[in-house]
Structure 1
Amino acid sequence: MALLHQFKISNGQVTYKSRFLSSDSYQGNKEHNRITVSEFGTVTMPDPCKNVFQRFVSRFELPKPTDNGNVSFVNYKGDYYVSTETSLMHRVDPETLESTKKVDWSKFVAVNGATAHPHTEPDGTAYNMGNSYTSKGAYYNIIRVPPTKSTAEDTLEGATILCSIPSVDKTKPSYYHSFAMSENYVVFIEQPIKMNLLKIVTGKLRGKSIGDGFFWDPKLNTIFHLIHKQTGEVSSIKYLAKPLSTFHQINAYEENDFLILDMCASDDGQAIANFNIQNLRKSGEALDEVYNTLCRVFPRRFVLPLNVDHETPFNQNLNNRPDSAAISIRIAKNKVFCTHEDLHGEDLHLYGGLEFPQINYSKYNTKPYRYFYGCGFRHLVGDSLIKMDLHGNRMKVWEQPGVYPSEPVFVPSPNATEEDDGVVLSVVITPNKDKSTFLLVLDAKTFEELGRAMVPVSIPYGFHGTFNATT
């Protein structure tokens, strides 16, 4: 269940508080002392207090969306929400961590869910993506949320669907966890991790979780869709790549008639099964086998030519950027096949790849940039923090045996003049009961430790966080 955490740094002191999200899912589970709402990896079983006929009928009910916002804090119109990948979010008070309102995307726009990774413009305009399932098939919808509220109670009022893209397979749309955004485009990555909608809607009948309806199809190419943010027009050019899976993009920007797209990706889509409970319960050689067979995620760059027209030549590399090994070849009238270049050296392999990428978002999102930060993954969870320098693909590492850092959060220094002038924050946990969890503070430039704030309570491993500057 979603557990919200807060570290407050003020006047040289650090305080910590946490609170379970008071969601309907949490309240139902607590009241009945069992799982009452199916989620990605868990299926609710019929109420044992019901008679046999009632339990049988309940298996034919469609799964209800969970409001267990356990993925990320997100921001719309200056308010903070906790979100997962259904249509339901909770607006929360960042000071008390209390839920102030449950909000349903489907009351404002025609979507069945939305990602927990929106993008935000400098003026506060937010973009997100959500699926919609209709009698005509599945669609991917680009959502735009205005930057300001009209009333104090305003939540997602004014949200609109910028465009809808039909799934290549109407009954098996692609799964996506996030998307990319440049100055003028939203970039949707249609990857070969597919969702079998029939399996998902019949999961309760079959006693299977939602995750059982997901599968990896390595026979399919990856497709990059470009959507113009102002007009909602979908580019007629489809940019293809070999099968890959991606959960998080690093950055995207436009330069000299190219769109540069950086992401963390792997050639295998089995990552959705990494955290199955049978893996988490293993130890010794059995756990080593899981580690050794994990698909590894590495930072990659694709270069997409924007000015492709009837005069663009076929079967030759259109990427003329100096010192770039990425390849983009026009293979048909409206198709360009893209091959990535690595954004790392061989030394990153020693740390198992990189995930949870973060940049100096407020100043460099959608712009050319030099640095990004992430977690090294030699194990099922991150076990190191890494700073990547795109000038030479050099890296700096923070690690300590037996501890596991969360996603690094970059916080710029006041009046910073350089991209990496600031600090990196990460919550570091340990499975050793006699050792404390702590908030780690690193100098973002040198990647040297500046300090840590110890917390004398156990904190579970988490994924995404955000920094909220207040005065």
Structure 2
Amino acid sequence: MTDQLAAEPAHRPGSGPWDAQEREFDYRVDEITGTVPASLRGVLYRIGPGRLQIGGHRLGHIFDGDGMVSRFEIGPEGVGFRNRYVRTRHFAKASSRWIGRGIGTQRPGGFLANAFRLPANVSNTNVVAHAGGLFSLWEGGRPYRLDPESLATIGREDFDGTLRLMGAFSAHPKVDPASGEMFNFGIEIFPRPMLRTYRRDRTGAMTRLGTVPLTRPAFCHDFALTEHYLVFLVDPIVVGRPVAAALGLDSLDHCLTFDEKLGTRVALVPRDGGATRILETDALFHFHATNAFEDGDDVVVEVVAHDAATAWSQWNEAVRDCENDPGAAFGGRIERIRIGRRRVSRERIADTPCEFPQLDHRYETRAHPVTYAAAASAPGGDPDSITAVDHTTGRQDVFTVEAGNTVCEAIFAADPERDRGGWLMSVEHVAAQARSRLLILDTDRLADGPVATAELANHIPMGFHGTFVPSMSW
């Protein structure tokens, strides 16, 4: 791919934050403003759809683009940048004559070309490091193992046969900082709908845990982890038109519906065995959880909640047309859900429209002091800010980029010299130049802006999620 498109310009003035980047790069960043902190050493990995068109065909949904990983190596010599597409089966086959069925993309050829076809695994949603391995994730299928240095695709991963059939493995695993264990889940449809949970120990050995039964196939994107439980909030995003989806009569996202009357299923799966505890509560609409912790007999989980009455249709249209209007996808608010023995209650924490919550991961499974998120400075606007909400003082700090620019999820990196706090790293799209820059911000002085920026020679699409791996972790 790199050789075929080497003549393409690295960036085009005036292009948008989701424009494709067909080229693959590997270089040392020359333009650095400010000073890269001496205590920030390691690699930032980010992933998202590298292209939303194939052979002139506009893909029908942002979730259908081929996954592209970006690697920022931060060291004494500065910042190095590398990007590579994940060599999935879909990537290998996609051409001007063929595209796979996706979440919102139908294959050319009508229903006969789409009937009984599952979405192609484009491995574009998250990239995680655990037990010496690096994996790109897409929640409908198996992970892909990548080389941490070169980003070369090693192959699909089933963790010694633990992932079976479709091998669904959520894009949001959680790691307990105390034990080093990674927990995750996958959606299973056959022979009956359920969430199946997994534990992978610090050596890489993975086992199956309990399940969460579902009354019908539902979409569940994320979960949270406490000292004793995996915590699930399964919202009523269900397949409302299963026949049309199966027969290929319509795209899968058009067959999903938010059925508020079904409510949200709350499930606590014990980490070390035992029966799953299930409660039902009023319908919640969310995608991402920040964290969870136990407070006496209660479990508290923090999420970014959207308006259950209207947000599904607005959100779905926004992600289908992300190049023109992504703002609705960032209209959630930080809330805390308290799960008691018999009842569930909700509390709004902040009113700033936001998404992609983050925390100091040293506090995973415990009450965390601060929540960080990508935010919109205006309701319905594009993500142009990074916000921090202090849960002790109630203080909220915000950094906003230049008008017309956008930011993505801010990844946290702990400062080993501080008990709490550290650095946030986000990628800013500079609209006027159609380039991207890496922002490094101090969590204690967020409103002051970046302590360092690394100006890329090219742009990279905004992307979804990522992770930071400190130098000593490998």
What TM-score does the superposition give when structure 2 sets the normalisation length? 0.78
CA gap of 1:115–1:255, structure 2 versus 1, over 3 A, is same
The separation in 2 between residues aligned to 1:35 and 1:396, in whole angstroms, is 47
5 Å matches for 1:38-49? 38-46=101-109
Q: Deviations over 1:242-296 (max 9, x none)?
A: 211111111111122221111111232335513354x4465xxxx6xx95x7783
Provide the residue aligned with 2:261 in structure 1. 219
Residue 346 of structure 2, aligned match among 326, 330, 340: 340
Paired residues of 1:260 and 1:301 also in contact (CA < 8 A): yes
The separation in 2 between residues aligned to 1:356 and 1:111, in whole angstroms, is 30
Instruction: State the shift of 1:22 in Å.
Output: 1.4
Residue 24 of structure 1, aligned match among 79, 89, 95: 89
Q: Deviations over 1:358-388 (max 9, x none)?
A: 1011x10001221010011345642110011
Provide the residue aligned with 2:468 in structure 1. 467
Instruction: State the shift of 1:142 in Å.
Output: 1.4
The separation in 1 between residues aligned to 2:113 and 2:87, in whole angstroms, is 25
Q: Deviations over 1:205-253 (max 9, x none)?
A: x1x2221221111112212111111114212xx4333211111111111
The separation in 2 between residues aligned to 1:12 and 1:230, in whole angstroms, is 44
The separation in 2 between residues aligned to 1:442 and 1:394, in whole angstroms, is 18
CA gap of 1:199–1:392, structure 2 versus 1, over 3 A, is farther
Secondary structure at the aligned position of 2:193 is classed as strand
Higher RCO, Cα 8 Å, sep 6+: 2
Q: Deviations over 1:142-196 (max 9, x none)?
A: 12223214xxxxxxxx53321122212xxx3221111111100111112111124
CA gap of 1:56–1:404, structure 2 versus 1, over 3 A, is closer
CA gap of 1:250–1:40, structure 2 versus 1, over 3 A, is same
The separation in 2 between residues aligned to 1:57 and 1:82, in whole angstroms, is 31
Paired residues of 1:375 and 1:405 also in contact (CA < 8 A): yes
- What residue identity is the alignment partner of 2:261? K
CA gap of 1:232–1:36, structure 2 versus 1, over 3 A, is farther
Provide the residue aligned with 2:75 in structure 1. 10
Instruction: State the shift of 1:80 in Å.
Output: 0.8
Instruction: State the shift of 1:36 in Å.
Output: 2.5
Over aligned residue pairs, what C-alpha RMSD do you find?
A: 2.4
Matched, 1:303 2:304: no
The separation in 2 between residues aligned to 1:87 and 1:273, in whole angstroms, is 21
Instruction: State the shift of 1:128 in Å.
Output: 0.9
- What residue identity is the alignment partner of 1:92? L
Residue 193 of structure 2, aligned match among 131, 138, 154: 138
The separation in 1 between residues aligned to 2:208 and 2:244, in whole angstroms, is 25
Secondary structure at the aligned position of 1:465 is classed as strand
Instruction: State the shift of 1:423 in Å.
Output: 1.0
Provide the residue aligned with 1:116 in structure 2. 171
Provide the residue aligned with 1:410 in structure 2. 412
Paired residues of 2:128 and 2:466 also in contact (CA < 8 A): no
Paired residues of 2:210 and 2:270 also in contact (CA < 8 A): no
Instruction: State the shift of 1:26 in Å.
Output: 0.8
CA gap of 1:341–1:25, structure 2 versus 1, over 3 A, is same
Matched, 1:398 2:445: no
Provide the residue aligned with 1:360 in structure 2. 360
CA gap of 1:381–1:69, structure 2 versus 1, over 3 A, is farther
The separation in 2 between residues aligned to 1:124 and 1:201, in whole angstroms, is 40
5 Å matches for 1:170-185? 172-185=216-229
- What residue identity is the alignment partner of 2:336? R
Residue 259 of structure 1, aligned match among 293, 299, 313: 299
Secondary structure at the aligned position of 2:397 is classed as strand
Provide the residue aligned with 1:126 in structure 2. 182
The separation in 2 between residues aligned to 1:15 and 1:263, in whole angstroms, is 34
Q: Deviations over 1:44-81 (max 9, x none)?
A: 224xxxxxxxx885444x21452311101023433110
Secondary structure at the aligned position of 1:134 is classed as coil
The separation in 2 between residues aligned to 1:380 and 1:93, in whole angstroms, is 37
Provide the residue aligned with 1:438 in structure 2. 437
Provide the residue aligned with 2:123 in structure 1. 69
Tell me which structure has the larger Cα radius of gyration. 1
5 Å matches for 1:229-378? 229-235=271-277, 238-268=278-308, 269-270=312-313, 272-277=315-320, 279-280=321-322, 282=324, 296-305=331-340, 308=341, 336-344=342-350, 346=351, 348=352, 353-361=353-361, 363-377=362-376, 378=379
Gaps of 5+ in 1: 47-54, 150-157, 309-335
Secondary structure at the aligned position of 2:388 is classed as strand
- What residue identity is the alignment partner of 1:75? A
Q: Deviations over 1:372-427 (max 9, x none)?
A: 1001134564211001111243211111212111111111112322x12x111111
5 Å matches for 1:57-206? 58-60=113-115, 62-104=116-158, 107-110=161-164, 112=166, 113-122=168-177, 123-135=179-191, 137-149=192-204, 158-168=205-215, 172-196=216-240, 198-199=242-243, 201-204=245-248, 206=249
CA gap of 1:270–1:182, structure 2 versus 1, over 3 A, is farther
Gaps of 5+ in 2: 1-65
Provide the residue aligned with 1:152 in structure 2. none
The separation in 2 between residues aligned to 1:203 and 1:380, in whole angstroms, is 37
The separation in 1 between residues aligned to 2:225 and 2:318, in whole angstroms, is 29
Identity level (%): 23
The separation in 2 between residues aligned to 1:2 and 1:185, in whole angstroms, is 31
Paired residues of 2:384 and 2:400 also in contact (CA < 8 A): yes
Instruction: State the shift of 1:124 in Å.
Output: 2.7
The separation in 1 between residues aligned to 2:299 and 2:291, in whole angstroms, is 11
The separation in 2 between residues aligned to 1:181 and 1:124, in whole angstroms, is 13
Q: Deviations over 1:314-355 (max 9, x none)?
A: xxxxxxxxxxxxxxxxxxxxxx332311112x5x2xxxx121
CA gap of 1:295–1:133, structure 2 versus 1, over 3 A, is same
Instruction: State the shift of 1:430 in Å.
Output: 2.8
CA gap of 1:294–1:465, structure 2 versus 1, over 3 A, is closer
- What residue identity is the alignment partner of 1:424? L
